[in-house]
Each structure stands twice: as structure tokens, then as C-alpha cells.
Structure 1
Amino acid sequence: MNSIEIYPGDGSVFKSEGAYFGKYFTYYSIQEGSEEREEKTYSVNNLPPDRPGSPFSVGSLIKQATRILQHCVKMRLSLSHNYHICCWKMVPVINDSNILPLVLKESLIPSVGRFLAYSDDKVHAIFLDGITLTLNWNFSSPIEKRQVNQGLNLGWCKLTFPDGQDQLIQIEHPEPYERYVTTVTSWCRRLTQTSPREMPTHSSSSAAMQWCNHSSLQP
């Protein structure tokens, strides 16, 4: 899911807003005894303190909803390719969930690592230092100069460290992992500008040069 709604039980509702999985939550409520509608917007990064006597905690509700959205992001970035299978969607239809997506593009970048793009719009980058990065990128729509991240399906990517720990990273704010995110998104943008028949099996040296230029950044 890309959005979430919270119904606290008093007739009001919180709805997640923002292109990238709920940066904000908008609160809608109708005042008792009138048709007056109350509307407030809360930032996930600046939640209000609990008010004494309030029937629910705004901060607690939004934090729980944010965790659910982040879980959905992790599932969509999972290489198990079964994130679309849900218990409430299990119906007697032809099961094609075991059909693994195809590798459409693969690049071996000297001194950087190995990048793979799959037919389900998933991109997986394996860096030489043991860190891997996974994100979703739509290669089907042409990219525009003013929209450098047009192909992004999510505003998040997933980093997996050599010890097996995972961490979600916002594409817009990747520090201190900017060199990983920038290298992969640049590779994706170049492929988006290339027709499928012209897709290279091995990348040019520009990504390696870009990686070297950022090599002073520590992960």
C-alpha cells in the first residue's frame, strides 16, 4: 500500500499524505452538533505531545501507522518477489507467484560492484564493500530532464549491510549513504534513457568515475 487511514473510533480519520509513504497525516473531524469540519496536518517528524484527557494519542497512532507503511516498503523492496501476496487476496486463481522475474539489465562496474535490473522494476546493487542496495524503478516511462527521479516507484531504498542488518533510506535524504544511492539512481537514469534493444550488458565507466568522486564519504 502507498497510503494508510486511521479511524480512532470517534468519527474522525487520519489520512497519510505525501508522495513517499506518509510524510504527513491530515486529521479530519466533524464537530458534534454542527456541520463544522475540523482539519489539521501533522508532520511525522514533529508530532505533538499527548494531551491530558484526550481519548487517544495522536503521536502513538501516527507512529504505528508509519511503522506499517515502512513494513510495506520493506516487503516491496524484498527480493523474495512475493510482496503482493496477502491473506485477504488468496482466491482460487492460477498461481503465477512462483514465476521469478527476469534479469533485464546487468552491469559489472569496475571497482564499484554489480548492478541488476529485474522485469518487476526491482533494482539490486551489490557493492564491493559488502553493502547491497535495493530500490524500485520504473524503466518503462521515458525520463525528463527536470524530473531526474521520475522513474522512482518508491521514495525509499533498502540498504543491507555485511552483518545482515537492513535499513530503509529516504532517497531525498540519503546521508551518510549518498554515494550508494547516487550511483544506483544514476545507473537507473541512464538505462531509462536507453531503448530496451540498446540496453548494455556492461555499464560505461561513468558510474565508476562517479563512485571514485564520492569515495571520500564513509558509509
Structure 2
Amino acid sequence: MAIGGGIIGGGGHHSVVAARVAAAAHVLFLTTAVLMLVWLLHFRGGINIQSDDPEQIFNVHPFVMCWGFILLIGEAILAYTTIPMDHRTQKMVHMLVHLVALILAIFGVYAAFKFHDAAVAPDLVSLHSWLGILAVALFGLQWLFGFFAFWLPGTHERTRAAAAPAHVAAGLAIFMLAVCAAETGLVQKSAAAASAGEAKLINVTGIFILLYAVAVAVAVALRKAFFY
């Protein structure tokens, strides 16, 4: 989901505040990533897509979708705030990080289907799975739209300027949809946790994912985006 082309501040104060919020988002990023790893490695026995244990196969799914989808999407969104380089470089980082996120999201979906196959469980029966598939599909379409509208040469400046607001809004909406999918998945795992300690860790991880998403959205809101 390519969000933003160039970003200009709504004043120096807003720009400074946005940078501070983005810095807080980076801290939340690291905290969430560590919490996810502790859960999967300590409580769920590890991550292995080639394992004979269906649970280790499944663990690839939350790992990839958290690290490689939600967190990378947020970092790509923040690229225009946190990368002190020219606009074209920011735009390239934004696009490439989102491409990596898309590839990893597809792999994460594959891991979920492989787990269901190994565990002889039905596919796409939960709200979590429906929201997740929708988020990945819309994310892919958003990335393609951003690539053709804002990256390829030949697109008229007026066309880019007209498409920018919808692109930013759609990008943030898809990002939040992905967060909702993650939260519903964590609710399922919390309810089925083997211990109270695991359930609490899952819940804390969910809270930090939500805080990260809010920080990303606030950082974007504090800046006025426009595309070149």
C-alpha cells in the first residue's frame, strides 16, 4: 500500500511532532517484534515451515504477518518522515519496502494454508482469515495502483495530485484492516493459550501492535502529503 509521495509539513511544529511520534513508532516496532518472537519461541516451540509439527508450521504465519506485513507496512508509511534524503529516494524506499511486505504477506498466507493442510483443518472459516485475505488482496491492488500512478514516468502531474488523497486514505485504511486481522487472530490464540502467562503475553503483543498502528496514523496525520 503505497502511502504518500512527497510530504510537506503543516508547519515546523507539526513536522517536529511528527518526527517524534515516528520515533515512538519505531520503539513500538521493536517492542512488538521482540514480544512476538518470545511468544513463538518460548511458548510455541519455534518457527519452521518444513517441520513435521503442524504447530511449528503455523508459527511461521504470525511471525511473517507481524514482522513482514504489518510492521514493514508501517515503516514504509513512515519513510517520508524518518528518511532524511531526497523525495525520490524516499519514494523508492517506500515502494520497495511495501513490495517486500507484499511478498512476505503472500508467504504468510501460504504458511496458514499449509498448516491447515497438515492439521486437516478447514480453510477460511474464521473472521480473522476473511479479514486477512481481504487485507492482502487490497494491499496488492494498492501497491499496483501506487506503482503505476506515482512511480512510472509519463503520468501527468495533475493526475498524481488528484489521485494522492484517495491513495493516502486507502493506504491507511488497508493498514488498519491488516491490524484488525492481526488482532482477531491474536484473540483466537489467546483464548486457546496453554497457560495464563501465554495468554497475557499474546494480549500485550496485541496492545503494542495497536499502539504501533496508532502512532503511524498520527505521524501521517501530522503531515500534509502530496505527490509528485
- Using structure 1 for the length normalisation, give the TM-score: 0.28
Greater helix fraction, Structure 1 or Structure 2: 2
Higher relative contact order (CA 8 A, sep 6+): 2
Greater strand fraction, Structure 1 or Structure 2: 1
- Using structure 2 for the length normalisation, give the TM-score: 0.28
